Amino acid sequence: MSAGRYAPSPTGTLHLGNLRTALVSWLAARASGRPFLLRVEDLDRVRSGAEAEQLADLAAVGITWDAPPVRQSERTPRYDASVAALRAAHGADVVYECFCSRKDIAEATSAPHPTAEPRDDDGGAAPDASLASGAARRPPGFYPGTCRGLTEDERAERRRTRPAALRIDAARAAGLPAGTVPRAHARDVLHGEVTGLVDDLVLRRNDGAYAYNLSVVVDDLAQGVDQVVRGDDLLDSTPRQRWLAELLSAARGETAPPTEYLHVPLVLNAGGRRLAKRDGAVTLADLAAQDPRWTPERVRDRLLESLGLPAGPLEGAVAAFDPRGLPREPWVFDPAGFVV
């Protein structure tokens, strides 16, 4: 099965940036003849009632889905099985315990390193150049491998003071020499070829919840999702997720399907920062309270216009939708200037 999807996290009410991305996701699926799925990514910081509010707001702007929504909180056995498959394919130690905090990692990666740098999978020093130039760069929080070689006694000592997360030994899983940094690639409709380096990704956090990078990959594979639309703030993580998708598929004796990625520019506030609830009237309810003439249909039309698409019911915009023709720059939203 081939499908597109939208996957909100029920941490609060959807703002206009979320709704705009959801519209693009729906239009991309419909224009390509794919079914459209909804997945609730509720593994972290769920706010009571937020899921129902989000589904209602999506429906209010005309978004429909072709199967009942699934919830990640109900899919833990799939994530367990995926970690087991990686261990079965590459050895039990390919997934190891990590006791580092974010502060530990930040301090380790910012400290001077007089010794030789890790090598990338082309044999050269792992580069730090910008992704925009086509080169690979280290993602924020790139893990330096601190806990990779701990002995069992050392792990037991650390367990007394801090619960462990689970990481994958990326070099070992890729069949590369120890200390090598795998390089991964993905192709995006708007951004072209995207290259990134793969560190030892967290598979399960130290609070027991599965990490986003694992859960989203497992669910996309399980649901047949081969069209991923989301904000371009997640572009950097895409090569790593593609790498993990291919690794998991191979561990199961399968081939990861080709995936169409479309990372759309964000909606920014008047100060040029990513739009957030703190910016005021940025949700359907906020706008209606500010002026009752801001119906969901009118908001939908304004969002479509911001994408260069005709106003009206979403079905009418499908024929005009071309992902390559989407705006390449962020849309700046100012509630004070958002007038009827």
Residues 115, 160, single domain; the answer is yes
- The verdict on 148 and 51 lying in the same domain is no
Domain identity same for 81 and 64: no
Domains: count for the chain:
2
Do both 191 and 92 map to the same domain?
Answer: yes
- DSSP structure string for 123-144: SSBPP---GGGT---PPTT---
Statement to judge: residues 270 and 161 lie in one domain: no
Q: How far apart are CA 65 and CA 69, in angstroms?
A: 8
| 105 and 52 belong to one structural domain | no
CB atoms within 10 A of CB 50: 19
46 and 61 inside one domain: yes
Residue 97 and residue 207 in one domain? yes
Rounded to 5°, the CA angle 93-97-101 comes to 150
Asked if residue 197 is part of any domain, the answer here is yes
Query: Looking at residue 138, what is its pLDDT?
Result: 66
Residues 79, 219: one domain?
A: yes
Indicate whether 242 belongs to any domain. yes
In a domain, 324, yes or no: yes
Judge whether 162 lies within some domain. yes
Residue 228 lies in a domain: no
Q: Does residue 260 form part of some domain?
A: no
Residues 8 and 37 in one domain: yes
Its pTM surpasses 0.85:
yes
- Residues 180, 203, single domain; the answer is yes
What pLDDT, on the 0 to 100 scale, is given for residue 131? Answer: 36
User: Which CATH number do you get for residue 85?
Assistant: 3.40.50.620
Q: Which amino acid is at 329?
A: E
How far is 219 from 41, CA to CA, in rounded Å?
10
Q: Are residues 211 and 329 in the same domain?
A: no
Structure tokens at 274: 């990513």
Distances in Å between the alpha carbon of 327 and those of 65, 263, 300, 316, 338? 25, 11, 17, 19, 19
Kindly give the confidence (pLDDT) of every residue in the chain, 340 residues in length, as a single tens digit, with 9 standing for 90 and above: 799 999 999 999 999 999 999 999 999 999 999 999 999 999 987 889 999 999 999 999 999 999 999 999 999 999 999 999 999 999 999 999 999 998 888 877 665 544 334 455 643 333 333 333 344 566 667 899 999 999 999 999 999 999 999 999 999 999 999 889 999 999 999 999 999 999 999 999 999 999 999 999 999 999 999 999 999 999 999 999 999 999 999 999 999 999 999 999 999 998 889 988 888 889 999 999 989 999 999 999 999 999 999 999 999 999 999 999 999 999 998 877 777 6
229, part of any domain: no
**Domain annotation covers residue 315:** yes
Domain encompassing residue 102? 75-223+234-255
**Which residue type is seen at 70?**
V
